[in-house]
Amino acid sequence: MRDSGVKELNLGTMRSAKSAQLIMKGYSLDEQGKKVLTFKPEMDTRDGAFVVSRALPIERRATIVPQESDGSIMSSMTWAENPDVILIDELQFFTIPQIEKLAEISLTYDVDIFTYGLMLSYNGKMFEPIKRALECGFKMKTIDMSCDHCNNDATHHTLYIDGMLQIDGEAINVENTKDKTQVYESVCYSCFQRAIDVYEMNKIDHTNKK
């Protein structure tokens, strides 16, 4: 049996320039004359059928994978176009069946797959599709960035809505830049826990004052 191609999972926090890395990777592959397919999830609708990064002047056209589909658009396009490389943005917003479809593609076709995404949601839990990708043999690489508050590497996210820390709720919350009251931070574990401690303390204060 032949070796399957590279399956890479590049994980970084918000504003760690993940999409910029995808765009640069795609650019150099294009320059080498390699055939590349780029996909993004339907849930990330901010930039339409493009991967966009605030860090770069160029953008990259991408095929949107519909949320309700099993991801067979990825296998049918791979079959039809025989790419050397598949690039995937915002992997955390794909579904479990779509992740499994990607794993199947890696076994069926001679293609390298480079994916980019977030590991942890603002509730401190790993995104299930990311977990499934690791279970399916994707090799984790990290895109390092400093914590917004100290010099540690950022690993976690905090979400503030109208200044209030959000600790429960939907794991998936697409950043909406139009909504100015919604603020995400990329933080280290220690700053993440400190934010939760402050939240809990304020809650107790509030209860005592009643």
Interface positions with Zn ion (CB under 5 A): 147, 149-150, 152, 188, 191
Q: How far is the CB of 80 from Zn ion (least distance, A)?
A: 47
Residue 132 φ/ψ region, left for φ over 0, alpha for ψ in the -120 to 50 degree band, beta for the rest: alpha
Q: How many residues does the chain have?
A: 210
Question: Based on CB atoms, which residue is closest to Zn ion, 52 or 196?
Answer: 196
**The pair of three-digit structure tokens given for residue 111, joined into one six-digit string:** 């293609």
Question: Based on CB atoms, which residue is closest to Zn ion, 37 or 147?
Answer: 147
Q: How far is CA 21 from CA 24, 66, 206, in A?
A: 5, 24, 44
Q: How far is the CB of 18 from Zn ion (least distance, A)?
A: 20
Residue 146: how many other CB atoms lie within 10 Å: 15
Q: How far is the CB of 52 from Zn ion (least distance, A)?
A: 28
Question: Based on CB atoms, which residue is closest to Zn ion, 62 or 188?
Answer: 188
Q: How far apart are CA 48 and CA 124, in angstroms?
A: 28
Q: How far apart are CA 84 and CA 171, in angstroms?
A: 33
Question: Based on CB atoms, which residue is closest to Zn ion, 88 or 154?
Answer: 154
Q: How far is the CB of 190 from Zn ion (least distance, A)?
A: 6
Q: In 95-136, where do the E strands start and end?
A: 112-117
User: What's the number of CA atoms in the CB half-sphere (13 Å) around residue 69?
Assistant: 15
**Which amino acid is residue 81, in one-letter code?**
E
Question: Based on CB atoms, which residue is closest to Zn ion, 153 or 175?
Answer: 153
Q: How far is the CB of 14 from Zn ion (least distance, A)?
A: 14
Q: How far apart are CA 158 and CA 191, in angstroms?
A: 9
Question: Based on CB atoms, which residue is closest to Zn ion, 105 or 191?
Answer: 191
Q: How far is the CB of 7 from Zn ion (least distance, A)?
A: 31
